[in-house]
Structure formats: structure tokens, C-alpha cells
Amino acid sequence: MSVEERRLRSRIATLVSSQPILHGTILDRKRKCCRPTCRCANDPDKRHPAMYVFLANGKKKVRQLYVRREWQEQVRQWVANDHELRRLSRELSDLYWEKARKPKS
């Protein structure tokens, strides 16, 4: 096992065993609240910020999750962990791709 392979496997194992992971894409939007007298009711520029996590699965369904303000930083980190895990996994796969392409004689 090469040094690079060990480094990638170690980083993946650490990430998976110690960090929460949430697969999805973060979307920051603006939305209206339910109060008719609020400034957001008539002016689209004054709408309230809202964060959603979207996930499209293989069955042509899209799931949407509204994230409350107090959870937003935590959820952003969980999604970032998922992106990091996928990046590391691609790097490891590329290593094996090269090994399979150029087998030892």
C-alpha cells in the first residue's frame, strides 16, 4: 500500500468515524413569513433568509429539508464533511484506476 493510499484511507476513516455526514446541497433562499403586516409580505427584497438542504435520490425524487437558524452552521459543516468524503473517495478511486490501468509485469 502506497503512502498516498494510506493517507487517503486514514483521512476517510477519521472523517467517517468522528464526524456527522449529511449528503445534500445547501440552498440559501429568501422566504415570506406568515405575518401579513411584516415587511416581507409586499417587498420581495425584504424577505427573510432561509436555508434548505436538497437531496435528489436515484428514484427521481427530491427531498427538501428546512434548516432552523440555530442549526445552520452545524448542518453546513455536516454537508461540507460529505463533500470532503466524496473528494477523498474520488482521489482513492483514481489511485486504483491508475493501478488497474498499469498492472505490474
Q: Which of 23, 68, 76 is nearest to 50 (CA)?
A: 68
Buried b (16+ CB within 10 A) or exposed e, 38-51: eebeeeeeebeebb
* Three cell numbers, residue 59: 428514484
Note the pLDDT of residue 105.
Answer: 58
Residues 6+ apart with CB under 8 A from 5: 92, 95
**Going residue by residue through the chain (105 aa), what tens digit of pLDDT does each one get?**
889 999 999 999 999 999 999 988 898 888 888 888 888 888 888 888 888 888 877 677 888 888 998 999 999 999 999 999 999 999 999 999 988 888 775
Predicted structure pTM score: 0.79
